[in-house]
Chains A and B, each alone.
Chain A
């Protein structure tokens, strides 16, 4: 059938115009579907997809890093676990960050559980440190470093406990009467020192507002958990169980 061109053009124009008017909303409904065994059975294809990841993850979490001859518990004012974890941060900082690190600090509340006697697995470290807090290196004037440490032994901090590496301190009436650096430096309130902390603390998550006046702040994209895993794995390389003890780095007079 033949079709006059003159008629076709207005027809197409009309059609296009009609399409351009689009749609408008006339009704809407909402529901929130809880994803559980009542709502839906497992999708077998998806389960097959996840299985190798989940299996390998289980193996990863089960990797034994080191054996411990004793249970390792967090405790105040000092415990072998407290010291070990602070030392792990210090050693990582000194060996891997390429920065001079004088001391380390860990917030007591950041240690979420204890480590068992016997094999210590990666999964255990995840339980000790489930958070993804990362390392931050703060350069602080000596007077602020002292204020920082005292904050965690004084009554201001939520968890009244000080965990440190690289220093030995003496506490009297919630104040520090001496700070000795294990690297041989002498404490001077007017000198600058570097302290490796959790970014949570550096962000004043623990309430340490005065840290905003730190001389310098450097953030490192490595989680404290990975630092711990690395450290315990190194300890396990000797093949002997560890038997850590306290070393009296916190003395209370």
Chain B
């Protein structure tokens, strides 16, 4: 036993009897503490509340909230720390949206315990006033850092980011939306100002990492996975980013077999994932953490993704 261990035991002994810190578990000091986090995610569900009809088409019987709800519940029963996110385009795609304007989509997400979502271009399809009405029914925050809603009905109804705390872990989550111009009818997005996602994304990520002391930083993105031209995509953003660990993407309806690693400005991998559309799949990422700083600069970063 070396001197530091000896003195630590001395402290623990002291703590055990100190009423002021009595609620803190002493074993966090005694050995490296590990914890886990399970991230579940969807994107571009497009009002697919019911599974695709059993008409012999490729996706017949897939998707739908009644089975997704069971799956999420099962995972919550098995895992202590679960976060559930959506990367936008909750609305539009089935007559449910045309008739109910998004209410059952949002209420179903409440029931499944979504922790946050970002805004997709089709979420504007009912107009800004409808967005206010329907998003107002959400029990979870809409996170978007690069839409300035100041001169719209949505002003003050979104947050750029939120810090989630799970078993001592601090998980910073922010959202990025796609350029509405040329994609969304102007009457629908009105005076929404689109801000550069790379610039804003890096600012927010730095805030989460440095000021908010987040252990893990997640971007919910509706930028799209990849384009043939220079349009900002998740891959482009990842390569020009810092301080982001995971991008949960949407918009391009990309079915990734497994998440993809892209190196960021610091040469560290950013994990990008997207699970197609319509809730056909539920994405799941299981993360293990250990208390304290990584021994090497890259430790805890360059870890293979096992599927």
Contacts and interface: CB of A to CB of B under 8 A. Distances in A.
B3 interface: no
Contacts of A39: 67, 71
Nearest to A34: B281
Contact of B303 (A11, A18, A27): A27
B139 interface: no
Q: Which of A25, A42, A53, A56 has the most CB of B within 10 A?
A: A25
A48 to B, nearest CB: 10
Interface string B293-307: 110000111010111
Nearest to A135: B185
B305 A23 contact: no
Interface string A73-100: 0000000000000000000000000000
Contact of A42 (B66, B170, B271, B284): B66
A35 B63 contact: yes
Interface in A1-46: 1, 3, 7-8, 11-12, 14-15, 18-37, 39-43, 45-46
Interface residues of A, number: 55
Nearest to B24: A15
A25 B245 contact: yes
Query: Looking at B50, B63, B70, B306, which has the most chain A CB atoms within 10 Å of its CB?
Result: B70
**Max chain A Cβ within 10 angstroms of own Cβ: one of B64, B259, B293:** B64
Contact of B288 (A26, A33, A60): A26
Given A26-B288, A30-B305, A46 B300 contact: no
Contacts of B96: 53, 57
B195 interface: no
A210 interface: no
Interface residues of B, number: 82
Contact of A50 (B108, B112, B182): B108
A208 B283 CA distance: 40
B6 to A, nearest CB: 15
Interface stretch (B13-21, B151-159, B225-233, B236-244): B13-21
Nearest to A48: B66
A25 B68 contact: no
Contact of B290 (A12, A14, A24, A61): A24
B164 interface: no
B253 interface: no
B71 A47 contact: no
Interface in B245-284: 245, 257-259, 271, 273, 275, 279-284
B24 A22 contact: no
A160 interface: no
Contacts of B18: 3, 8, 11
B257 to A, nearest CB: 8
B14 A25 contact: no
B303 A28 contact: yes
Contacts of A12: 20-21
A199 interface: yes
Interface in B46-96: 49-51, 61-71, 73-74, 92, 95-96
A23 to B, nearest CB: 4
Contact of B15 (A11, A50, A132, A220): A11
Given A28-B285, A36-B67, A46 B108 contact: yes
A49 B14 contact: no
Contacts of A31: 284, 286, 307
Contacts of B182: 203
B187 A219 contact: yes
A217 B271 CA distance: 42
B216 interface: yes
Given A24-B299, A28-B285, A54 B62 contact: no
A221 interface: yes
Contacts of A11: 11, 14-15, 18, 21
A54 B49 CA distance: 9
Contact of A30 (B65, B108, B279, B286): B286
- Of A39, A42, A43, A54, most buried by chain B (CB within 10 Å of CB) is A43
A68 interface: no
B71 A35 contact: yes
B29 to A, nearest CB: 7
23 contacts: A8-B18, A11-B15, A18-B29, A22-B293, A23-B35, A23-B168, A23-B215, A24-B292, A25-B216, A25-B245, A26-B289, A28-B288, A32-B275, A33-B284, A37-B67, A41-B67, A41-B70, A42-B67, A49-B111, A50-B108, A53-B100, A57-B95, A219-B185
Interface of B: 11, 14-15, 17-18, 20-21, 24, 28-29, 34-35, 49-51, 61-71, 73-74, 92, 95-96, 98-100, 104, 107-108, 111-112, 125, 127, 168-170, 182, 185-188, 213, 215-216, 245, 257-259, 271, 273, 275, 279-294, 299-301, 303, 305-307
Given A36-B62, A46-B65, 5 more contacts: A18-B29, A21-B291, A25-B287, A132-B92, A221-B188
